[in-house]
Copies of this chain bind each other. A is one copy, B any other.
């Protein structure tokens, strides 16, 4: 798996809007052929902080995600809601193989 862990901090007043927009992105993303996981996590200690856990079969499939209409819509919808620039960190998924 090719995994991007995206760390997000959202403006307090936009948390519920962010969850709703990200739910829509999740629902379409998990239907992509190369998608393995698209988990949306909220930090237990600070509900303005999230992780998007995006696992794809390989890098090519991960890049295709960035061209989908649901990704582009999500990106534009949430852009003003970020409290700081979000940060995506790339990992090799060792297991499951």
Contact = CB atoms under 8 A, between A and B. Distances in A.
- Interface secondary structure of A, over-half rule: strand
Contacts of A43: 89-92
A91 B51 contact: yes
A30 interface: yes
B5 A51 contact: yes
Contacts of A10: none
A23 interface: yes
Contacts of A27: 95
A53 B53 CA distance: 9
Interface string A20-43: 001100110010000001111111
Given A5-B51, A40-B95, 9 more contacts: A3-B39, A23-B95, A37-B37, A37-B39, A38-B95, A39-B96, A41-B92, A42-B91, A45-B90
